[in-house]
Amino acid sequence: MFSKTAQYYDIIYSFKDYQAETNRIVDIITREKRSIGNRLLDVACGTGLHLDYLSKYFEVEGLDLDEEMLSYARQRNPGTVFHHGDMTDFDLGVGFDVVICLFSSIGYVKTAERLRRAIMGMARHLVPGGVLIVEPWLTPENWHPGTVHAKLIDEPDLKIARINTSYVDGSLSYFDMHYLIGTPDGTDHYVERHELGLFTVEEMITAFEMAGLEVTYDQDGLMGRGLYIGRR
């Protein structure tokens, strides 16, 4: 999905405070985890920025479906184990004390059935007393089709204009990210299609409960999108 723009991912999302988010995650894990181990798996780890911070506290591993993103994660976190896999269908054969899935990546499963499969798979990788933390995508009532969004990066040797319009089709949100990227070598235009499922709070909680987890919903979460905390 990010084959053309993966190299610019971190600068586009540089507004995110990864250190503050890590501190919050560590606080939650410290409060909720009952297992004695220290292994953490980041599902849909992207370029590995969360893992860069979390590795100071845990023995970390990452999983992602996008090989281009994984290549940057490996460069950032040498020595860390990364797995190529789909969050709805992965089996690493080992257990973790913590499994996380952040920055709304869970929305890319698209359907409620695939949501349940993904949560079930993550829960299956938890040891007894372990914790699953999932940051959701927007709920149906918080998605506003027909709105236009823009992001501008303005650096001496890099200009990026990213523009998209939001649409909806039933319970699926979608948008085409149009990138105009200028460097000293020239200017390129790329388009990325993103499709994410709009899941209700009830659907998310049900998925956790069906996976055999006790679940708590934090309405604010890390950046206003909420947070689901499951305990095995």
In a shared domain, residues 129 and 165:
no
Q: Is residue 27 part of a domain?
A: yes
In a shared domain, residues 23 and 62:
yes
What is the domain range of residue 192? 141-197
**What phi and psi values does residue 52 have, to the nearest 5 degrees?**
-60, -40
Residue 159 sits in a domain whose CATH number is: 2.20.130.10
Structure-block tokens of residue 42:
């980041």
> Poorest-confidence range of 2-11, 67-76, 112-121?
2-11
Residue 36 sits in a domain whose CATH number is: 3.40.50.150
Residues ≥6 apart with Cβ < 8 Å to 45: 51, 62, 63, 64, 69, 70, 73, 82
pTM score above 0.75: yes
pLDDT of residue 4: 83
Q: What is the pLDDT of residues 65-84, one digit of tens each?
A: 999 999 999 999 999 999 99
In a shared domain, residues 165 and 94:
no
Residues ≥6 apart with Cβ < 8 Å to 142: none
Q: What is the pLDDT of residues 178-226, one digit of tens each?
A: 999 999 999 999 999 999 999 999 999 999 999 999 999 999 999 999 9
In a shared domain, residues 95 and 60:
yes
Q: Is residue 1 part of a domain?
A: no
Place of tokens 């976190």: 77
Domain total of the chain = 2
In a shared domain, residues 55 and 127:
yes
Residue 3 has pLDDT above 80, yes or no: no
Q: Is residue 61 part of a domain?
A: yes
Q: Exposed, middle or buried: residue 205 (CB in 10 Å: 0-12, 13-18, 19+)?
A: middle
